[in-house]
Structure 1
Amino acid sequence: MTRVLHVLDHSLPLHSGYTFRTRAILKAQEALGLDVRGVTGQRHAAPAVPGDVQQADGLTFYRTPGEAEGPTGWREWKEVSALAARIVEVARDWRPDVLHAHSPALCGLAALKAGRRLGIPVVYEIRAFWEDAAVGNGTGREGSAKYWLTRHLENRVVAGADAVVTICNGLLEDLVSRGYPRSRFTVMPNGVDMAMFGTPLPRDAALANELGLGEGPVIGFLGSFYPYEGLDDLIAAMPAIVARVPDARLLLVGGGPAEERLRVQASASPAASAVRFVGRVPHHDVDRYYSLVDVVCYPRKGMRLTELVTPLKPLEAMAQGKLVAASSVGGHRELIEHDRTGTLFPPDDPAGLADAMADLLCHRQRWPERRETARTFVEKRHDWALNVRRYLPVYQTVLGQEPDYAEIAA
């Protein structure tokens, strides 16, 4: 049985898109017969656990002791060194066959350092370019020294790893444009654990009444409120949407850096009475709020992050049997086919968003076929139980084995 040690920035029991993708990968790999564990760096900001080993949702995670602190540069060097030492410690006891590091580059650098000491091959998986993510969430600036340093570190890991995986074609094409051969990369697209998301709840009438949603239709967004998500454009579009669909309501579930500004914007809107903020909700309650939503909307801004990276949330919404509408940035176009699996509208354009949403809401006869088409698309193309097989030839190649394509296709 092949043993794979996943090197991670953070993990369960923390909740984020990053940890949910990790959980899905590890669970699907276990079901495939691989022996998997994870090790996290010092940025896993959670209370210490006895022995620095933790069980979460039936998965084993090793923790790296200490805290990430100190001036920029020195702090990151210490993080990489501490994580590399922890990987070596874990590996000498558990003896993995492969180190599978996931972005950011600090995880990849630690894995490369440990892999060289241990003689173990390293697979590096890029979920996003973190310099672009920093720009998107407002903590970085494109073209800054930190931006280029982060990009340089990413390039070092890509060059040093035995194999590289990306989550989408947008990231792959950007790497190819940097001079790396296309054959070096494998795409492992975002997926959905259909066992978790494949059985949507019936509409929670009591919760709908509590929130004053009426009979709808309800437009929803469930996630983190970062500026790049474009929720300001969605709120700006609501007066025009309500003018054409008077009973339409907007349900915003979650929180984040843009929340306060969005609340102020909504309270000043002519459509203020049609907007509901719920705040953050426990993860086990998310399905109750999904049950209230007819159309899940993702109005992401146009920028490098959103053009290159495919999000996870639209796939989860499709699996829940929800209609999906999204801005036509590259990451969305890679997942959504306009007028077939979803509705695309121009980014950074509240008027265009309003026209697309109102048209969708006014043609309910199209909804059942659209829902079924989108759900089937996720089942066939983005179910982790199937997609996880794409890792097998990657592992077999770095281990010097001949890929068993019959097993992969089974």
Structure 2
Amino acid sequence: MRILHILDHGLPLQSGYTFRTRAILSAQMRRGHRVAAITGPRQRALGVPFETVDGIDFHRTPPVNTLPAPLGELREIATYARRIDQVVQEFRPDVLHAHSPVLDALAALKVARARRIPLMYEIRAFWEDAAVGNGTGTEGSWKYRLTRAAETFAVRRADAVAVICDGLRRDLIARGIAGDKIMVSPNGVDLTLFGAPAPADPGLATELGLLGAETIGFIGSFYDYEGLDTLIAAMPALVAARPAARLVMVGGGPMEEALRAQAAASSAAHAIRFVGRVPHGDVEKYYGLIDLLVYPRKHMRLTDLVTPLKPLEAMAQRRLVAASDVGGHRELIRDGETGTLFAPDDPAALARAVAGVFVDRSDWDARRARARAFVETERDWATNVARYDGVYQNITDAAAMKPSWSRSRFHRA
């Protein structure tokens, strides 16, 4: 089957979004599908209409000049739809697979209807909730309501819908979307990229002052919804209970300056290390130094509905994980079995939970093994990607039954 994936952005940019995309497309190619992708104006690919990255073919869309909302978004949709149509004529896909945000789905819908190609729309997070979580939007504002309405519009008109977790599926059903139209394609990892965990690098440990430390850490993007301020606020109590505790923060993002200032003012400042952003190839070194990865996401609509990718990557590398008890984490972590859950937005609860992990190490190896087994059996893309095939077949079969399908599919719109 020929599948064209329609994306906001993709490789070589690095994010949870691009890593999930790479895993899906690579697994589909291994299953024998012909796969290509197109990225939208926000990739800002200047003068590069096509490139192959990590064996995946990416068609690019040139950036557009920004305008105030919603005019800017309407221009993006129109520009992207024209570029998708060009690629469709060249690639001739059997199915279009658009990935959130909703602008991608709206652009893909224009082409899907004109070309009579079935469309799957995959939602990784609701765009309006992501804006609230990132601090760029306000729940209940006119823009929030408009974006939510656009999301519902796209879902109703797509031939099939995929979501990354049950929380998103339940929300769509509450909007009146038929449950049998929605498949769950949970966050997963490409286990071909995660073998034996990296050994600790003694030179790097010495450089960071971590020799003999009980090391906790976070590796990822520093967004407000990640709750990293709660993690830093927990450090004085944690160090009081476990004097050897040290926190390593790897990454960067909008909250970095505020978090560094918070850490510098903390009584536990001596126990907190900021590494900054590191090349993707070096990330494993830092995983190898950290005893316990901590994910303290705040309690809000976004984190209750959406499952993150980073805890799965840590579990795939046989790392211990602790996370706030929000809906997205509960779909990934079984408290006391594959990881530890603690009350969100509560530095004292975080400190107690993390200290408890270091009090008793007798279950560490078994917990790591259970976490890895969970990823292997339930979250490996090599098997999970097969969920798409039946849906693709159903919507292409249904499209083939419609009048004038064979005559009109690639007419000039």
Q: TM-score normalised by the shorter chain: which range applies?
A: over 0.9
CA RMSD after TM alignment: 1.1
For 1:35, the equivalent position in structure 2 comes to 34
Output aligned runs, 1:126-205, within 5 Å. 126-205=123-202
For 1:404, the equivalent position in structure 2 comes to none
Provide the rounded CA distance (Å) in 2 between the counterparts of 1:68 and 1:12.
22
**Equivalent position to 2:283, from 268, 282, 286:** 286
For 1:8, the equivalent position in structure 2 comes to 7
Structure 1: which amino acid aligns with 2:5? H
For 1:97, the equivalent position in structure 2 comes to 94
* Secondary structure at 1:29 match in 2: helix
Provide the rounded CA distance (Å) in 2 between the counterparts of 1:68 and 1:58.
31
Provide the rounded CA distance (Å) in 1 between the counterparts of 2:65 and 2:159.
28
Give 1:46 deviation, angstroms.
3.7
**Equivalent position to 2:216, from 213, 216, 219:** 219
Against the structure 1 CA distance between its residues 68 and 98, is the aligned structure 2 distance closer, same or farther, given a 3 Å change threshold?
Answer: farther
**Equivalent position to 1:261, from 247, 258, 261:** 258
Aligned residue pair count: 399
Deviations, residues 115-136 of structure 1 (Å, cap 9, x unaligned): 1111100000000001000000
Contact 2:45 2:63 survives alignment (8 Å):
no
Contact 1:43 1:68 survives alignment (8 Å):
no
For 1:388, the equivalent position in structure 2 comes to 385
Where in structure 1 do 4 or more consecutive aligned residues deviate above 2 Å?
A: 45-48
Contact 2:46 2:62 survives alignment (8 Å):
no
Give 1:271 deviation, angstroms.
1.0
Contact 2:45 2:62 survives alignment (8 Å):
no
Deviations, residues 219-277 of structure 1 (Å, cap 9, x unaligned): 01000111111111111111111112111110000011111111111111111111000
Provide the rounded CA distance (Å) in 2 between the counterparts of 1:260 and 1:203.
28
Provide the rounded CA distance (Å) in 2 between the counterparts of 1:38 and 1:46.
14
Provide the rounded CA distance (Å) in 2 between the counterparts of 1:28 and 1:15.
18
Provide the rounded CA distance (Å) in 2 between the counterparts of 1:250 and 1:325.
13
* Secondary structure at 1:201 match in 2: coil
Provide the rounded CA distance (Å) in 1 between the counterparts of 2:388 and 2:98.
13
Deviations, residues 362-401 of structure 1 (Å, cap 9, x unaligned): 1111111100000110011101101000001110110117
Against the structure 1 CA distance between its residues 332 and 68, is the aligned structure 2 distance closer, same or farther, given a 3 Å change threshold?
Answer: farther
Against the structure 1 CA distance between its residues 328 and 399, is the aligned structure 2 distance closer, same or farther, given a 3 Å change threshold?
Answer: same
For 1:48, the equivalent position in structure 2 comes to 47
Contact 2:202 2:211 survives alignment (8 Å):
no
Give 1:59 deviation, angstroms.
0.7
Provide the rounded CA distance (Å) in 2 between the counterparts of 1:165 and 1:201.
34
TM-score by length of 2: 0.95
Provide the rounded CA distance (Å) in 1 between the counterparts of 2:224 and 2:66.
27
* Secondary structure at 2:250 match in 1: strand
Structure 1: which amino acid aligns with 2:216? I
TM-score by length of 1: 0.96
For 2:24, the equivalent position in structure 1 comes to 25
**Equivalent position to 1:338, from 332, 335, 338:** 335
Matched, 1:304 2:301: yes
